[in-house]
Chains A and B, each alone.
Chain A
Amino acid sequence: MEKTINKEQIRKPENLVYRRTPLLVDVPLSYCPGCGHGTAHRMIMEVIEEMGIQQDTIGIAPVGCSVLAYDFLDIDMQQAAHGRAPALATAIKRLWPDKFVFTYQGDGDLAAIGTAETIHACNRGEHFTMIFVNNGIYGMTGGQMAPTTLPHMRSSTSPYGRDVEIMGFPLKMTELITHLPGTYYVTRQSVHTPANVRKTKKAIRKAFENQKLKKGISFVEIVSNCNSGWKMNAVQANKWMEENMFPFYPLGDLKVDGQIVEKK
């Protein structure tokens, strides 16, 4: 005979196995329902919590949907001008070399207006961590085409789909910076399934641990959804992402410990 166990018996502190990390400020996130930014934030803060480095971490928020990241992450933070997060981080890391410094940017921020700062920070081999949330669109300004928008993908400035003849090709920034000598760890992950969330957290952990080695940039791309911009619900958006984004932006490590991962 099975004993019936009531909820009060289970919901005891000693049985707690997962809770929102207290390093996330206890306020509602400003993101749309289902948006990957929230999960990405949580993984960063879980890593900071587990490494015990809240006192030694400085984060840089971008311009984009995550502009208000400093309202959510309970660490010292600066908000950069659009695209310039790597410039701020360069200075902060050089001036406070023993702090953990990271940037958090969307694809418009990192791969369009901030292309120069991204490439040069990576090429100089700065010793900070870059988190790159690629949702293939400009979320904050209302779903315009981004440098990462897929061919034929619709956006408010490519309403008939991205015509590469006219609008140019999507930019694989992560592949590009993999080949720069200043990057030490480059990986592409996602946060839409439990397994992927776990992998992303591992990647972020490695990217932060790498800062101790002072061997260059650790770069974590998170391919993510933008259900509002893509005009789908969150579940559909995650499916669409798997079917359309991942073939173009395949998940996995591109460079580990300074060595490019050869694709079979």
Chain B
Amino acid sequence: MGELRLMKGNEAIAEAAIRAGCDGYFGYPITPQSEILEYLMAEKPYEKTGMVVLQAESEVASINMVYGGAGAGKMVMTTSSSPGVSLMQEGISYIAGAELPALLVNINRGGPGLGTIQPSQADYWQSTKGGGHGDYHLLVLAPASVQEMSDFVKLGFDLAFKYRNPVIIHSDGAIGQMMEKVVLFDPIPRRTDDEIKKQCPWATVGKTPDRKRSIITSLELDPGKQEQVNLRLQAKYRKMEAEEVRYEEIACDDAEYIFVAFGTSARICQKSIELARAKGYKVGLFRPITLYPFPVNPLRELSTKIKGILVVEMNAGQMIEDVKLAVSCSLKVEHYGRFGGIIPTPEEVTENLISKVIGG
């Protein structure tokens, strides 16, 4: 059994990074996620595991440091919050285009613009639909607890290397800031240089006479070849859709109505289920854990057994589009959202289920 600790979600991410054998963290301060960089600087993993930690001059620099480090075969990550992640989008697109493993974290805050420092889920589209330019996807993990903040760091790195694709932990200021107990996984040693060379033959680690030079690029001037690159990426995304879907169903066995919600919204919905059931309504929760690939088939299957869905998000209605596509508009799908940094109360969520879906 791992070590039990009481930690903030942001701290759990930082601690998990060290334990996962991460080679390099590059970041820039922004609320509500600055504790990640602060924790790492306080822990000084560069003296313990040899992990590099660097405060960059901007998010543009930090994502491009991640691009460089990932191209060199290292296990690297950055974290930020919404405005900072917007600034990173060009670099993220390059990383996806060059097919490199990297872990990104967005502790969402309310927007648009400088918005608010309070929690939000308004970057759902940005995380799941690409965000930067070109046809690409990140693999998107949505933790709903401090425990998952820690666990998804390791899972995220595993998936990033498995698919040579950037993975983003899509969380929000509430989970980043809240303290919960967390069971930390046992530390994994960083890979040795030789292990890296073996695991990542494509990486830029110095050309030896026995191989062709490694080139990390997202450029292909020949449109025919660029189309092939795109087709290869699409095949990878189909594989992720087939193999990496993760979700959780709570109280769905007898449910007639369900909430679909992720992250902090999903936690609120758990309380709303209790309130609704106390009123005699059979209500459950479907929680997507991978926002991309979206759990299309499990949700579709569940939708055949129920009468209606309330999608609860801390935004004006983003995931609802994926929900509607999944269920092919075969039943009532309504949305309830609060935005600008407001977390909905369980009571208002239940009321909205009753008024918009059950009674409406």
Contacts and interface: CB of A to CB of B under 8 A. Distances in A.
Contacts, number: 127
Interface residues of A, number: 32
A171 interface: no
B328 interface: no
Contacts of B11: none
A94 interface: yes
A54 to B, nearest CB: 6
A96 B94 contact: no
A76 interface: yes
Nearest to B71: A78
Contacts of A65: none
Nearest to A76: B204
Interface residues of B, number: 39
A60 B68 CA distance: 9
Nearest to B46: A94
Interface stretch (B1-9, B54-62, B350-358): B54-62
Contact of A120 (B52, B57, B69): B57
B264 interface: no
B122 interface: no
Nearest to B53: A94
Interface in A78-92: 78-81, 84, 87-92
B102 to A, nearest CB: 11
A67 B220 CA distance: 11
Contacts of A80: 64, 67-68
Contacts of A60: 68
Contacts of B26: 91
B61 A95 contact: no
Interface in B194-235: 203-209, 213-219
Contacts of A78: 67-68, 71-72, 204, 215-217
A55 interface: yes
Nearest to A90: B65
B188 to A, nearest CB: 18
B307 to A, nearest CB: 49
A184 to B, nearest CB: 19
A84 B91 contact: yes
Contacts of A74: 207, 213
A88 B56 CA distance: 12
Interface in A49-99: 54-58, 60-61, 67-68, 70, 74-81, 84, 87-92, 94-96, 99
A91 B24 contact: yes
Given A78-B68, A90-B68, A116 B57 contact: yes
Contacts of A91: 24, 26, 52, 54, 64-69, 72, 74, 76
B219 A116 contact: no
B15 interface: no
A117 interface: yes
A80 to B, nearest CB: 7
Contacts of B180: none
Contacts of A92: 68-69, 71-72, 204
Contacts of B56: 87, 120
A76 B65 contact: no
A67 B62 CA distance: 21
A54 B214 CA distance: 12
B90 interface: yes
B92 to A, nearest CB: 10
Nearest to A77: B215
B23 interface: yes
Contacts of B217: 61, 70, 78-79
A96 B72 contact: yes
B64 A95 contact: no
B61 A77 contact: no
Contact of B67 (A67, A76, A81, A116): A81
B94 A81 contact: yes
Contacts of A55: 206-209
Contacts of A67: 219
A99 B94 CA distance: 24
Nearest to A53: B206
A61 to B, nearest CB: 8
B25 to A, nearest CB: 10
Task: Choose among A74, A78, A80 the residue with the greatest number of B CB atoms under 10 Å from its CB.
Answer: A78
Given A90-B65, A117-B57, A75 B207 contact: yes
Contacts of A88: 64-65, 67-68, 71
Contact of A94 (B52, B62, B64): B52
Nearest to A67: B219
Given A67-B219, A84-B67, 4 more contacts: A58-B204, A87-B65, A95-B69, A120-B56
9 contacts: A79-B218, A80-B68, A87-B56, A88-B67, A88-B68, A89-B68, A91-B67, A92-B71, A96-B74
